[in-house]
Amino acid sequence: MSGCLTKIGAWSEKLAVFFLPGLFYGMLLLSLGFWVRETVKFHGVKSWPKVPATILEHGSGGVTYRMETRTGTQIGHRAASWVKFSYSVEGTTYQSDLGSPNGGGVPVRFHFLGEEPEGPWHESWEAYYDPDHPEVAVLSPVPYDGTGWLVVAFASGSVALVHAFFWVKARIRPTTSPDAL
């Protein structure tokens, strides 16, 4: 029985020493990679050429959430909306569902729902497209901020930094002179 416990102890030690820190280092690298990729993808979005766009589909809804806190249960509702539009560049028609570079959300102007059919959905829209990749377009040319990826990078990077600090500290041998003994 003690041999089994020894094996379990060895596995839990390996888990704590290798797997969990590796998970946090991986999360750090992955989140930074996605943030860099999206930042490069939407670089200069405000200066992209614009063309007329047609709204194909749109909608809104919400997500109800429940959160347990020290003060009790909090229930809330987070609004969500979406859009799908088409646009043409040099005779080729494309479709996109990116309202903005920041996660495909719908621009603020879209929150006037319920004004059908005279509402903002039937107004003229402009799609801002990437001249190097015309299949990438947005309706709202705001700069990409990638807050979600940066939060994940900061959280996992903090844990990874603490791990790296203690890993290095464990490998640095204290230098003491023989006279100090």
Confidence at residue 118, expressed as pLDDT on a 0 to 100 scale: 46
Q: Which two tokens stand for residue 63?
A: 């997500």
Q: Is residue 116 part of a domain?
A: yes
pLDDT-derived band of residue 134, with 50, 70 and 90 as boundaries? very high
Report how many domains make up the chain.
1
Confidence at residue 69, expressed as pLDDT on a 0 to 100 scale: 81
Confidence at residue 37, expressed as pLDDT on a 0 to 100 scale: 92
Kindly report, residue by residue over 75-118, the tens digit of the pLDDT. 877 766 778 899 999 999 999 988 888 755 555 444 444 444 44
Q: Is residue 111 part of a domain?
A: yes
Q: Is residue 85 part of a domain?
A: yes
What is the domain range of residue 49?
Answer: 41-149
Residue 119 to residue 106: CA distance in whole angstroms: 15
Distances (CA, A) of 144 to 32, 76, 90, 124, 167: 14, 27, 26, 24, 36
What average pLDDT does the segment 159-167 reach?
87
Instruction: Find out whether 93 and 99 touch, Cβ atoms under 8 Å.
Output: no
What average pLDDT does the segment 148-165 reach?
90
Q: Is residue 63 part of a domain?
A: yes
Confidence at residue 32, expressed as pLDDT on a 0 to 100 scale: 94
Confidence at residue 130, expressed as pLDDT on a 0 to 100 scale: 94
Q: Is residue 178 part of a domain?
A: no
Kindly report, residue by residue over 7-17, the tens digit of the pLDDT. 555 666 666 66
Supply the pTM of this predicted model: 0.63
Q: Is residue 176 part of a domain?
A: no
